[in-house]
A and B are shown apart, each in its own frame.
Chain A
Amino acid sequence: MHINPLEKKWLFASLALVAVFLGSIFYTAFERNIHPPSHVETVDSAKLHLGGEFAEDKLGVVGQADGSVRVTLVAGRYGFYPRQMSVPAGRPVTFRIASMDVLHGVHVPMTNMGTMVVPGYVAQVTTVFPKPGEYPMLCNEYCGMGHDHMWSRITVVAADQWQPTATTKGSN
C-alpha cells in the first residue's frame, strides 16, 4: 500500500468536513429536537368517512387547552378538506392528515410545513408560522391528472385576532 502524505491530509480534511455536517445535524436533532415528520401511525384509508377523527364533521381547526392548535385534514383527489383554514401566528400548529385515495404530499411554500401523505398512515407535522399572511397549501406529490389543481388556502392571522373556525374541544 502506498499512501501519499498529501492524501492523508485530504482524508483527514474530508473526515473533519463530514464530522462538522453530522455534528450540526446531531445538535439540531438532540438539543433542539428538530426532526422530520415521523409519526408511525396507521389508519384505514377506505373508512375515513365512516367515523372517527377524520370523519367529515371533525375536520378543521381546533384550539387546544394548552394554547396550541390542531388542524385535521383529509387529502383526496384533488383537494385538501377543508379548503380554507385560518391559524394563529407564533403558536404551535399540529397538522394531522390522512389520504383517502392515493399518495399526496403537502407543503406550504417558504415554510417548513410539509409532509408526505401516504394512504394507510396518518401524517403528522407540527410547525409555527411566524408571519401572518395568505399561503397556498399545495399538494407536492403527483397524484393524477388533476394534481396541478390540488391546493387549499391557509390564512395565518395575528394570534390575538385568531378565532377557531371549526368545532372546538375544551378550549372555549
Chain B
Amino acid sequence: MCDKDIKKLALAHLWVAFGAFGVASLLGFYQVVERSGLIPALKSPALYYGSVSTHGVLMAFVLTTFFIMGFGYHTAANNGAGFNRCAAWAGFWVAAVGTLLAALPLLTGNASVLFTFYPPMQAHPLFYIGATLLVVGSWVWCVLMVMAAGAWKQANPGAAMPLPLFATTGNAILWLWSSVGVALEVVFQLIPWSLGLVDTIDVGLARTLFSWTLHPIVYFWLIPAYIALYSFVPLAAGGKLFSEELARAAFVLIVVFGLPIGFHHLYMDPMQASGWKLAHGVGTYVVAIPTLITAFTVIASLEMAGRARGGQGLFGWIGALPWNQPMVLAAGLSLLMLLLGGFGGLVNASYAMNAMVHNTAWVPGHFHLIFAGTVVTLYFAVAYRLWPSLTGKAFRKPCLVLGQLWSWFGGMAILTTPWHILGLLGQPRRISSVEYDSPLVQSWGAYEAIMIAGGLVLLLSALLFVYNLASAHWQGEASGEDTVAYAEPLHPPGKIPALLNGYAVWNWVILLLMAASFGYPIAQFFLMKTFDSSPWGY
C-alpha cells in the first residue's frame, strides 16, 4: 500500500516539520534566558519579540501543518485510499515557499507581530503572503484527503471506513472550516492594509475573525495525536482498541463542536457582548466531552493490554505495561500532561474566572502543557513509530529514544510549573523583561531562574530528537520493517451508522452552528458605526 513515493512524500513533510521544530526550540531557550534578566548583555526587546514571533509561527503553524500533512498522506495510503500525488507535491511546495517567504521578514525583525498577527501592529506584506501560501498548501491536503475518503467509500460500499482514515478526513474538514476565519482576515484586511491599499483596519473585526480559527486550530493539531492514541497505542501495549464506535463519536464531536467556540479567546475583549461569550463558553465545555471519552477509551485499552500481560489488582496492570515501548511511554506521559493542562484549560474557559489569569504567564504555561506536552510528545512517538518503515532504517540506540521522551516530559514539568505560579502571581505573559518597580515583582525572580533549567532540558531533548531521527535515517541499519499496522478494535465495527462513517450531514450541522455563533457577531461590525485604528506609521 505504502510505496516508495508515498514514503518520500511523507518524509519530506516530516523533515520540514521537525527542522522547524529544532530551530524553534533554540529560540525558546533564548527566550527563557532573556526574560529572566540574569544576563544583562542579552537584553533586547527587538530580538525577544522577533524571537517569540518566529518561535510561535514555526511551532504552531510550520511544525503542525507539515506534520499533519505528511502523517495524513501516509495514513490515507496505508488505509487503502488513493490520491493524486502530483497535487500533493504541489501542495508541499506551495506551503514550503510560503514558509520561506514568511521567514524572511520574521528573521529580519520585520514581522514581530507574534503568531496571532496582532493588528494594528503591522508586519511586512511578505509575512502575510507567506502565511497565506502555507494555508493554501494545507488546503490542497484537505481536498485530497476528502476526495481520497470519498473514493474509498465508493470502492467499499457499505463498509466501515478505517478509523485512522475517518479521523484524518474529519481533520481535513475541520481545517477547511476553521481556516476560513483567518483567511478572510488576511485576504480582505491584512494584505490590502500592509500593501498600503487601505490606510486603516477594524481591529475588532480582525480579532473576531481570528478567533474563528484560533480554537479549532488546536483540534487540528490534536486530532493526529488522538489518532496515535487510538490506532498505535493499544497495539504497542499488546492489546486492542477498547471501543471503535466511541472513538468515531469522539472525532465527530471534536469536528462539530470544536468550531463555534472561539470567543473564549475574546472573553476580555470589549467588542463582543457577554451573551455571545457565554454561548461560546458553553460550547467550550461541551467539547471537553470527546477528550474525556478519549482518555477513557485509551486507558481502558491500556488496562486490557496490561491485564493480558499478567497485571493484577486495581493498579497492577499499569506496571505490567511495556513502558520501554516509545508509543506506550509517550501515551502515559502525554495523558498525564493532558490531565494537568486540561485543568488549567477549564480555568481559562471559565467565563468569569478567566479574568484572573487572562494574558498572564498562566496561559503559556497551560498551552505548553497541552500543545508542547501532549501533542508534540505524540508527534515524537508517531515519528519514532513511522521512521523504521519510512526510512527502512532502525534506531541504533533505543535507550536514546526513551531518554528523549522522558527528558521532554521532565523539561515540561520544570518549565510549566513556575510558569503557572507566575501567572497566579500576576506576571503578564508577553514581556521581554520585568520593569515594574513594585514589591510584588520581587517574588517573580526565582521562578524565572527555574524556568531556565526547564528550557535547557527541553532544548537538549529537542536536539536529541532531531539527532535520533537523523542518525537512524542516514546511519541506521536496515530495519526490515515495511508497513505500519494499526490497532484492531475489541469488537469489529460491523455495520456502522452512516452518521459515524462520513461527514456529509455534519457539514450542514456545522454550517448552522457557525451561522448561529458567528453570524451576528461578525455582521455587527457592518451594522454599527465602527472606527478603524489610526493609520500605521503616522
Residues of A that sit less than 8 Å from B by CB:
1-4, 6-7, 10-11, 14-15, 17-18, 21-22, 25, 28-29, 34-46, 100-103, 105, 107, 109-110, 112, 114-124, 134-136, 138-149, 151, 153
Contact = CB atoms under 8 A, between A and B. Distances in A.
With a 10 A CB-CB cut-off, give which of A102, A110, A134 has the most chain B CB atoms: A102
Interface stretch (B133-141, B240-248, B332-340): B240-248
Contact of A29 (B49, B352, B436): B352
Given A3-B243, A136-B440, A121 B49 contact: no
Contacts of A136: 436-438, 440-441
B45 interface: yes
Interface string B107-121: 000000010001111
A89 to B, nearest CB: 17
B510 interface: no
Nearest to B493: A2
B38 interface: no
Nearest 6 Cβ contacts at the A-B interface: A109-B426, A140-B428, A38-B274, A119-B533, A140-B359, A142-B430
Contacts of A101: 120, 533-534
A120 B118 contact: no
A148 B45 contact: yes
Contacts of A14: 288-289, 292-293, 296
Given A1-B497, A147-B431, A148-B431, 7 more contacts: A4-B242, A7-B243, A18-B286, A45-B531, A45-B533, A110-B440, A140-B430
Question: Range of interface residues on chain B?
Answer: 35 or more
Contacts of B269: 116, 118
Interface in B190-240: 202-204, 207
Contacts of A103: 118-121, 203
Contacts of A145: 45-46, 49
B491 A2 contact: yes
Interface stretch (B22-30, B79-87, B406-414, B522-530): B522-530
With a 10 A CB-CB cut-off, give which of B296, B428, B500 has the most chain A CB atoms: B428
B2 interface: no
B433 interface: yes
Contacts of A148: 45, 431-435
21 contacts: A3-B246, A14-B288, A14-B289, A18-B286, A25-B278, A28-B352, A38-B270, A38-B274, A45-B533, A107-B426, A107-B428, A114-B358, A115-B270, A134-B438, A135-B440, A140-B429, A140-B430, A143-B121, A144-B121, A148-B433, A151-B436
Contacts of B366: none
Nearest to A122: B270
Contacts of B440: 109-110, 135-136
Contacts, number: 204
A102 B533 contact: yes
Nearest to A147: B431
Interface of B: 45-46, 49, 114, 118-121, 202-204, 207, 242-243, 245-246, 266-274, 277-278, 281-282, 285-286, 288-289, 292-293, 296-297, 300, 346, 350-352, 354-356, 358-360, 425-441, 491, 494, 496-497, 500, 524, 528-534
With a 10 A CB-CB cut-off, give which of B121, B270, B355, B440 has the most chain A CB atoms: B270
A75 to B, nearest CB: 12
A147 B268 contact: no
A142 B530 contact: no
Contact of B534 (A4, A45, A107): A45
A15 to B, nearest CB: 7
B292 A36 contact: no
A46 B534 CA distance: 5
B121 A146 contact: no
Contacts of A39: 270
A120 B267 CA distance: 17
B44 to A, nearest CB: 9
Contacts of B286: 18
A141 B496 CA distance: 49
Nearest to B500: A1
Contacts of B49: 142, 145
Nearest to B200: A46
Given A38-B272, A43-B531, A142-B49, A119 B434 contact: no
